[in-house]
Amino acid sequence: MNISLLRPPLAPLGGVAKARHSPCDDSLPRLAQGHEEHPRKTRYSCATGISPITYPHLGFGLGLRKEHYQAVLDRRPPVDWFEAITENYLVPGGKPLYFLERVRNHYPLVLHGVSLSIGSADPLDRDYLRQVKDLAARIEPAWISDHLCFTGVGGVNAHDLLPLPYTGEAVRHVAQRIREVQDCLGRRILVENVSSYLNYRSSEMSEWAFLSAVAEEADCLILLDINNIYVSARNHGFDPLDYLDGVPPERVQQHHLAGHQDYGDYIVDTHDHPVIDPVWALYGEAVQRFGPVSCMIERDARIPPLDTLLEEVERMRAIAAGGQAAHA
C-alpha cells in the first residue's frame, strides 16, 4: 500500500478561529460521538461499543528538532509528518514558532507533550492546557499526545516521567483526568507508555493491562512506544510480546521508535543513539499485530545530521511495508 496516498490534505494555517472552543475551564461535550476536526479514516471497527478511531494514518515521521529546522524547509525531505515537542512552542512568538508554522505549511504535524502530569494528585494545570489549546488552534496538529505518568506532586516538578502504580484506583484517577483534558481540548488525546526503572509493591496488574484499562475507561488513544516496551521489558524481566498482545489494537494510534543506553543490568531510555536491531524486530512484531500505525523516530540528544535520521525513517518504512504485506 502506498502510505503517501493516505496523507490528509494540509489545511491552510490561519483558518482555524471557527474551530476554537470555549476556555479549558468550561465543560465540553464528551467525545464518544467522534472528533470531527480531521479527515475520517477508520482503521478498525470496534466490537466493544466505542466509536471508531477517526484520526488519519499519517505514515512515517520524525521528531522535529531545532538542529534541522532550516534543512527541513530547504530540502523538504521525504518524511510523511513531523512530531513537535509541545512545550517548545507554547510562547506565542519567537524563532521556534516561526519555524514550526513554516514546517506546518508543508507537512502534517502532531504535538507531543511532556508536562501534562496526567497521573499526579495535583490539580490539572489549566493554564498549561489553555496554552496547548491555543497552540493547537494555531498549527492544527493531527493529534495531541502526552505520557501516562506523573512528573511531580505537591507543586514540585521532578523533571522526569515517573511511572504510576498499576492499580484500579490509579486507573480511575487517571482516566477521569484524561476525560477532563479531552473535554478541555475538544479532542481525544493519545497517552504514551513510559520506560521505567522501578515497580510498586501496590501494583495489581501488568503495565499493559493498566495502559489498556486507562485507555478504555478514558476513551482515549494509545501512543505505543516500542523502544519503551523493550527498555522496560529488560529492566523488569517481562516478555515484550506479552505487552504487544495485551494492548487493544483499535486504541493504538501511533508508535515511537528510539535508541537507548544499555548498561548491562539495566537500560536507560536516553534517545541519543540509533534504534537497535532488537527494537526494530519488536517493531516488526507490532506491525504484524496492529497493522498500519503512524510511526516516527525520536532523537533528543546527540542529534545527528538529518540524513542519518532519514535512513532510520526509510528502514521503518520498509519494515512496515513487509509487515503489512504479511498482515494482509
Q: Nearest to Fe ion by Cβ — which residue?
A: 256
* Cβ at position 149, least distance to Fe ion in Å: 11
| Helices assigned H by DSSP within the chain | 69-75, 94-104, 126-139, 168-185, 207-218, 226-236, 240-245, 277-290, 306-327
Nearer to Fe ion, 146 or 225 (CB): 225
Pairing of strands 190-192, 221-225: parallel
Interface ranges with Fe ion (CB under 5 A): 225, 256
How far apart are CB 269 and Fe ion at their closest, in Å? Answer: 8
The nearer residue to Fe ion, 184 or 214, going by C-beta atoms, is 214
Judged by CB, which is closer to Fe ion: 51, or 88? Answer: 88
Task: Report how far residue 242's alpha carbon sits from residue 172's, in angstroms, rounded to the nearest whole number.
Answer: 24
Write down the least CB distance from residue 159 to Fe ion, Å.
16
DSSP state of 136: H
d(CA 223, CA 94): 29
**Least distance CB 1 / Fe ion (angstroms):** 25
Return the residue matching grid coordinates 493504538. 252
Residue 250 or 298 with smaller CB distance to Fe ion: 298
Residue 201 pairs in a beta bridge with: none
DSSP string covering 85-106, please? EGGGG-SSSHHHHHHHHHHHTT
Distance CA 123, CA 133 (A): 18
Q: How far is the CB of 286 from Fe ion (least distance, A)?
A: 13
Q: What is the nearest approach in angstroms of Fe ion to the Cβ of residue 178?
A: 18
Cβ-based neighbours of 8, under 8 Å, separated by 6 or more: 38, 39, 56, 58, 108, 142
Give 207 or 225: the residue with its C-beta nearer to Fe ion: 225
Closest CB to Fe ion among 186 and 274? 274
R_g of the chain, CA atoms, integer Å? 19
123: amino acid identity, one letter: P
Closest separation between CB of residue 227 and Fe ion, Å?
7
225 vs 250, beta carbon nearer Fe ion: 225
How far is C-alpha 200 from the chain's CA centre? 25
